[in-house]
Amino acid sequence: MRISTWLGGAALCAVAGSALAEAHMTDTSDARIALSNNYAGNSWRQAMLQSWEDVTGPAVEEGIVAAADAYTTSENQATEQAAQIQNMILQGYDAIVVNAASPTALNGAVKEACDAGIVVVSFDGIVTEPCAWRIAVDFHEMGRQEVEYLASRLPEGGNLLEIRGLAGVFVDDEISAGIHAGIEEFPQFEIAGSVHGDWAQDVAQKAVAGILPSLPEIVGVVTQGGDGYGAAEAIRAAGRDMPIIVLGNRQDEMLWWQQQRDESGYETISLSIAPGVSTLAFWVAQQILAGEEVPKDLTVPFLTVTQDTLDETLANTPEGSVANVEYSLEDAQAVIAEAQGEM
């Protein structure tokens, strides 16, 4: 699936002329770009790293950049990732692409990189240091839309279970805040319980199994991704009626959804940021190094799977992976051009 399926024709046309002609205003063939990733313990992060390799490998082979090395910290600790970034500074990278453990705790290391003349582009887990670029979806809106969808299906409301992600990470905070904003907008719903699933099916399954005995009847489960199938398994094992579980584009949970749909007409929705956003961050870093004027904040849509698009999306998602979009240079230029038009 290409990003061109997301963007309107106007944005693509906008880059068909001068932006494409100026793709390499400055030669970046000697530039070295590094990926600093804070966590790789779920299918989304694995797909994200694979997308990085699939797109940056050919870019290196074609001489667009000299290197695009990926590094992941062993623990999801901001102090460890800050040290990793400082090591990248010492290694002389020209740009660092960051999926951050914290929006603020890495700011010191990011500022050191900027002061050393290094381009820093954060994505997914973004940083707030002003010298860095940020690429994110509107996670707050994603959470709010989960509740809005449940309101369209369950107008009388009811009790919800919230499954959160990794504690202390920007993405977790924003999606949860959006969910709670949705509850304010649709007060017929109430959060009856909340657990952290760490965006991993096995963690979510254990956490949901642990809290279920203390919960009343649940009509819906609001999630963050990597947790829907685990929640379903815990609820099934507890012998409870299956609520509407908002899913997060993982192959295993979409397969479960398809099976439930075929057996009983089960309906839900699935939405998440595409793991291939790492490749957009790579091309944005390359374009900045090439001399392109890029706005500091770029927003991309989240990828939504509906009842109508489930079969096609599942067919195009490898086993154990996540529904995905990978970006080309031209796709990135379209995103940049669209943001320039909004400045």
CB 235 within 8 A of CB 208: yes
Which letter does DSSP use for residue 186 in this model? S
Contacts of residue 253, defined as CB under 8 A and 6 or more positions apart, other chains included, come to: 201, 228, 229, 232, 247, 270
Q: By the 8 A CB rule, do 221 and 179 touch?
A: no
Question: What average pLDDT does the segment 53-64 reach?
Answer: 98
Confidence tier at 343 by pLDDT (50, 70, 90) = low
DSSP single-letter state for residue 42: S
Assess whether pLDDT exceeds 50 at residue 45: yes
Q: Is the pLDDT of residue 188 over 60?
A: yes
Helix (H) or strand (E) holding 70: strand 67-72
Model pLDDT for residues 85-128, shown as the tens digit of each residue: 999 999 999 999 999 999 999 999 999 999 999 999 999 999 99
Distance from C-alpha of 179 to C-alpha of 312, rounded to nearest angstrom: 28
Is residue 20's pLDDT more than 70? Answer: no
Is the model's pLDDT at 202 over the cut of 60?
yes
**265 Rama class: left (phi>0) / alpha (psi -120 to 50) / beta:** left
Q: 260-272: b or e for each residue (b if 16 or more CB lie within 10 Å)?
A: beeeeebebbbbb
CA atoms within 13 A on the CB side of 194: 12
pLDDT at 309: 97
Residue type, 37: N
pLDDT band at 169 (very low <50, low <70, confident <90, very high): confident
- State pTM to two decimals: 0.83
The domains found in the chain, sorted by start residue, are: 3-137+273-302+322-341 (3.40.50.2300), 139-272 (3.40.50.2300)
| pLDDT classification of 1: cutoffs 50, 70, 90 | very low
Beta strands (DSSP E) in 3-50 are: 32-37
- 3-state secondary structure at position 149: helix
Which residue is associated with the tokens 């660092």? 96
pLDDT of residue 283: 98
Per-residue pLDDT tens over the stretch 310-328:
999 999 999 999 999 999 9
User: What average pLDDT does the chain have?
Assistant: 92
Under the banding of pLDDT at 50, 70 and 90, the label for residue 292 is very high
